[in-house]
Amino acid sequence: MNEVVSETTSPDATAYRRARRRPLALVGSQDQVEEELFGAVFDGVVLRRFWAFVRPYRRALWIGIAGVLVFTATQIAMPLLIRYAIDRAIAAGADGLALLQTLAIGFMAVVLVNFLSNLAQELAVGRVAGHLLFDLRRAMYAHLQRVSLGFMDKTEVGRLMSRLQGDVNSLQEFLETSIFAVGDLVLLVGICGVLLWLDPRLGGLTLVVVPLLLVVRVLWLPRARRAFLKARETSSAVNGALEENVHGIRAIQAMAREPLNFELFTSKANDNLRAHMRASRFGNAMVPVVEALTGFAMLVVVMVGGGMVLDGDLELGVMVAFLFYVQRFFDPIRSLTVHYSMMQRAMASGQRIFEVLDVPVTVYDSATAKELRPVTPAIAFERVTFGYDASQPVLHDVSFTVAPGQTVALVGPTGSGKTSITALLHRFYDPQTGCVRIDGDDVRDLTLKSLGSHVGMVLQEPLLFSGTIAENIRYRQTGITDEEVMEAARAVGAHDFIMKLPEGYATRLVQRGANLSQGQRQLLSFARALAADTRILVLDEATANVDSETERQIQEALKRLLDGRTAIVIAHRLATIRGADRILVLRQGRLIEQGAHDELVREDGLYARLYRLNHGSFDDLEAADDEARGGHSPQPPDAASGTVIST
């Protein structure tokens, strides 16, 4: 879609237009809808892999297909029975009464079989397709739980969600429609066969309309599809703009963009209207053509067939049966073409689904993996070199140890490798060379499960789930008692604010805990880590500033949390850094200084310079370093600036 750059005309917008330029403005995302790939109708690889998911339900599938065939056969049989009733029973007058009765009962029997086979096929196919939908989604979801985090970092959640939902749906549709397509095909072939069998000449003549219908339909389809696609695209553009208007309303009102946005939206909405009207023209254009062709077939039957009946070459009932069949020609053709597009779409969806299932799982338990001992262990990094992309290491030959119960602070600018160190400790990734040891064991020799239950982690962003506060503190450890939950909350100083909430620990958090303040969320994530009671703790300190009272609480909670555990803290605040037993200074993936605060200050290296600069956040390392080297004098330590570091 093109950017919407519109020349606005309303007096309101003109009033504040300063230059005679076009506004660089748009509403809604200018992104394409995830493009609709129309793949081949049959993609062998996709089908084969798809079959693996269908296999468990193959019995139901065969029942479904058998049902479809029987169902179609009964549909073809009914006009035939009418034909015999007319020609054999009714034509015979009073002598035909018995036969009429037999035929009518036969008709009812066929109706019953029709009902049963219809029930069987629809139920079987519907159930298989339903199962398939959930199975495929489950397989993808379970796989995503295990794939490399590197993949997840690069992939937007929204894109994955569209695969978990849209693509899975279209494969479900695919299964349903492909089976019904079999029925339609059989019906079409069956009708043609019966007509030719009843009377080859009249049949042949009537069937002329079938290829005509097909040709018209095939010519019409690509154009119509473009029109429908366009309508869908403009719809989603309009909805995108509406979404922006809902989510960004505060910003929009604050910046008084309402009149301009409304104009931009109007032009999008009008595009959408035009596209829909066009699609509607296409959608309905086929109706008179189809009806006229059907009418033509009836004309042939009545004129030619009627003439034949008059000449004694054809029975009257056959003509009536012809009229019934003729009116059913178009239904299977129409559904077949609809199914065709659906199958194409499904193949593209299948490719996207299997693409996700093929993302490799790089980290898994080795065959001899063992459990960690329940002690407070030592941590050692031995000459670790690691890069998310092996050719671009983000850690170079990093070695250090953390004694049991010690806290080590990692300091360094963004991109210096702090997060990578914590990720390696938890074995989110494996290093290219060197190894990470916990309690003397290489983490690759430990089970992931035991790493998860012994290495606690507090992320910078306190991620919370929709659920009650107590559930969030417990998280995976569902066995923790209410008292233990409360104790953890009390220990980190969260108890008081929780009790002030309307339902205390049973208060439900809205999405991402948006009904709590940043600091409160932080405290909850501490409580969660404390409740998990792991011997090792990895903590990524939040950078966001909170008010000083909360800050004090957090610092105290931190002390409580680190107490008695072996800990690695990515620290941003001086208070945290100074509280650590040892400080590791990282820069561009290398460990450049390490030691206690006083030692480092005495050593007069980068850390010392930084500390003297009093720059607050140690994330400014790079900038500060340049500044220090450039010989700028440190900022005057006036009253307020001194406070910067602590908050």
Partner 1 sequence: MSEPIPPLIPWPDGDERAAVGFDGRTLLRITRMAFVYRWRMAVAIGATVLAGVAQILIPLLIGASVDRIHAVLQAGLTDTRRGESDLVVIAAGLFLVAAFRGTVTMLQSYQGEVVGHKMANELRLAYYARLQSLSFTYHDTAHTGELMTRGILDIEGTRMWVHTGILRLFLLVVLLGGGALILARIDGPLTWVALAFVPFVAIGASLTRLKLRSLWYQLQRELGILTRIMEENLGALRLVRAYAAEAFELARFDHVSARARAITHRRIAFFVGSTTGMTLAFFLSMGLVLWIGGERVIEGRLTVGELATFLTFMAILQQPVRQISWMVNSIARASTCGARLFEILDMEPAIADAPSAVDIPDPGDGILRFENVSFGYETEGRKVPLLKNVSLEVGPGEVLGIVGPPGSGKSTLAHLISRFYDPDAGRVTLCGVDLRDLKLAALRRAVASVQQDAYLFTAPLDSNIAYAEPWFDDDALRSAAQTAQLHDHIRTLPRGYRTLVGERGVSLSGGQRQRLAIARAVLPESRVRVLDDAMAAVDAGTEQAILKALAQTAAQPATVIIAHRLSTLRGADQIVFLLDGEVAEHGTHDELLALDGRYAALYRLQTMATA
Of 241, 248, 278, the closest CA to residue 263 belongs to 241
Q: According to CB under 8 A, which residues from 491 to 510 bind partner 1?
A: 508
Question: Rounded to whole angstroms, how far apart are CA atoms 444 and 434?
Answer: 12
Q: According to CB under 8 A, which residues from 32 to 71 bind partner 1?
A: none
Encoded one letter per residue, x for contact with partner 1 by CB under 8 A and - for no contact, window 555-594 reads: x------------------xx-------------------
Q: For partner 1, which stretch binds (CB under 8 A), given 43-51, 154-162, 219-227, 482-490?
A: 154-162
Q: For partner 1, which stretch binds (CB under 8 A), given 127-135, 205-213, 384-392, 601-609?
A: 127-135
Question: Rounded to whole angstroms, how far apart are CA atoms 364 and 446?
Answer: 10
Q: Is 507 exposed, middle or buried (0-12, 13-18, 19+ CB in 10 A)?
A: middle
Q: According to CB under 8 A, which residues from 458 to 497 bind partner 1?
A: 459, 463, 465-467, 471-472, 474-476, 478
Near partner 1 by CB under 8 A: residue from 60, 133, 318, 580: 133
Closer to partner 1 by Cβ: residue 133 or 438: 133
* Nearest distance in Å: CB 41, partner 1: 26
Near partner 1 by CB under 8 A: residue from 80, 81, 198, 600: 81
Reported residue count of the chain is 647
Question: Rounded to whole angstroms, how far apart are CA atoms 471 and 433?
Answer: 40
Near partner 1 by CB under 8 A: residue from 453, 522, 566, 594: 453
Of 42, 39, 59, the closest CA to residue 50 belongs to 42
Is residue 522 a contact point for partner 1 (CB under 8 A)? no
- What are phi and psi for residue 255, nearest 5 degrees? -100, 10
Token pair belonging to 593: 């200084």
Closer to partner 1 by Cβ: residue 11 or 44: 11
Task: Kindly list the strands in the beta sheet with 566-570, ordered across the sheet, starting from the edge strand earlier in the chain.
Answer: 455-458, 536-540, 566-570, 407-411, 582-587, 590-595
Encoded one letter per residue, x for contact with partner 1 by CB under 8 A and - for no contact, window 600-619 reads: ---------------xxx-x
* Nearest distance in Å: CB 212, partner 1: 14
Question: Rounded to whole angstroms, how far apart are CA atoms 262 and 268?
Answer: 10
- What are phi and psi for residue 179, nearest 5 degrees? -75, -40
Is residue 162 a contact point for partner 1 (CB under 8 A)? no
Running DSSP on this structure, what letter comes out for residue 479? T
Encoded one letter per residue, x for contact with partner 1 by CB under 8 A and - for no contact, window 319-358 reads: xx--xx--x-------------------------------
Question: Rounded to whole angstroms, how far apart are CA atoms 616 and 571?
Answer: 12
Q: According to CB under 8 A, which residues from 618 to 637 bind partner 1?
A: 619-620, 623-624, 635
Near partner 1 by CB under 8 A: residue from 53, 228, 265, 325: 265
Is residue 145 a contact point for partner 1 (CB under 8 A)? yes
* Nearest distance in Å: CB 519, partner 1: 8
Dihedral angle of Cα 135, 141, 145, 151, to the nearest 10 degrees = 130
Token pair belonging to 447: 């089970």
Q: According to CB under 8 A, which residues from 237 to 256 bind partner 1?
A: 238-256
Closer to partner 1 by Cβ: residue 47 or 460: 460
* Nearest distance in Å: CB 48, partner 1: 25
Of 302, 293, 304, the closest CA to residue 327 belongs to 293
Is residue 284 a contact point for partner 1 (CB under 8 A)? yes
